[in-house]
Amino acid sequence: MDENKAFEKIKESIYNKFSLDLNQYKENYLKRRLDARMRSLQIISYEEYLKYLLTKEEEYDNLLDKLTINVTQFFRDPDTFEEIKKNILPNLMRNNNTIKVWSAGCSTGEEAYSIAIMMEEISETLGILNYNYNIVGTDINEKSLYKARLGYYEGRTLDNLSDIRKKKDFNFDGKNYIIKENIKKKVEFLKYNIMEPFKRGYFNIIFCRNVIIYFTRELQNKVIGYFYDSLKENGIFIMGKTETMLMNFRDKFECLNIKERIFIKRV
């Protein structure tokens, strides 16, 4: 089989398995990730890899892991969280009795839990007991979501967590830091592909960081449009630090902080 055809077939198999349309991801990126997976298996052609994939059920998950880079951290880009904590959330919390947050492309849950930790801290500072908020973390990767729901963490993902936060918000079992129940119960994790629209006019804040960077420009446009629709009026949208707001949305999202990629929905 010709290599281009085999590559198309690999994408087709992933679509059939996960309903994930890889044609919407940047091709260079896809090929780089796929080549890396093939190298680790010492496979040198797409045709050979396709055969391998079709005979080994568990390889689908391995490939999805490779394609949907799931690297994340608690308080990734700490300055962004500081800015949100200082200048965004307190006002939102004063003006709304309840806040709904979406961590889109949440990977193993660190971003969603970091938001919950921050919300608890602000409630305490503002003297609001039991402030009503909830956070939904969504991802396409079931394995990542399983880990997120479990809430056990070790290693580099904890690098930006202060000792105070480790002590206050986690239990330690000698190996893992385990997220405490009061934080855990604020976060719900769901499987969801951001290529589809989600709850209209529902969220006060959407975090989508380091996810759409791998998408084609066309898909980025579509997905940012869905985020716009999912936000309430004056809702906040936060992108990854290396991502840029597309021209089409410059009058729909006003920039509040360009360095931290924080935007507000304007209608």
Ligand X SMILES: C[S@@+](CC[C@H](N)C(=O)[O-])C[C@H]1O[C@@H](n2cnc3c(N)ncnc32)[C@H](O)[C@@H]1O
Which positions lie near ligand X, rule CB under 6 A?
68-72, 76, 105-107, 111, 139-141, 144, 193-195, 209-211, 240
CB of 240 to ligand X, least distance (A): 6
- Output the smallest distance, CB 137 to ligand X, in A: 9
171 burial (CB, 10 Å; 0-12 / 13-18 / 19+) is middle
Report the alpha-carbon distance of residue 17 to residue 24 in Å, rounded. Answer: 16
Min dist CB 90 to ligand X, Å, is 23
Minimum CB distance to ligand X smaller for 98 or for 193:
193
- Alpha-carbon 156 to chain mean position: 18
**Least spacing, CB of residue 82 vs ligand X, in Å:** 16
Strand order of the sheet with strand 231-239? 187-191, 132-139, 98-104, 203-208, 231-239, 262-265, 253-257
Task: List helix spans (H) across the chain.
Answer: 3-18, 27-40, 46-55, 59-67, 78-83, 89-95, 110-126, 142-150, 163-169, 181-184, 217-230
What does the alpha-carbon distance between residue 122 and residue 193 come to, in Å, rounded to a whole number? 31
Nearer to ligand X, 159 or 233 (CB): 159
CB of 6 to ligand X, least distance (A): 23
- In 3-state terms, what secondary structure has residue 259? coil
Q: Which of these, 116, 136, 133, lies nearest to 208 by C-alpha position? A: 136
Of 44 and 64, nearer to ligand X (C-beta) is: 64
> Whole-angstrom Cα distance, residue 201 to residue 245?
20
User: Treating both helix axes as pointing N-terminal to C-terminal, what angle do 59-67 and 27-40 enclose, rounded to 10 degrees?
Assistant: 130
Nearest Cα neighbor of 55 from 66, 67, 69, 41 is 41
Are 113 and 157 spatial neighbours (Cβ–Cβ below 8 Å)? no
Would you say 23 or 125 has its CB closer to ligand X?
A: 23
Q: How far is the CB of 174 from ligand X (least distance, A)?
A: 26
Closer of 123 and 134 to ligand X (Cβ): 134
18 and 47 in contact (C-beta within 8 Å)?
A: no
In the complex with ligand X, the residue whose CB is nearer, 14 or 106, is 106
38 vs 206, beta carbon nearer ligand X:
206
Report the nearest approach of ligand X to the CB of residue 97 (Å): 27
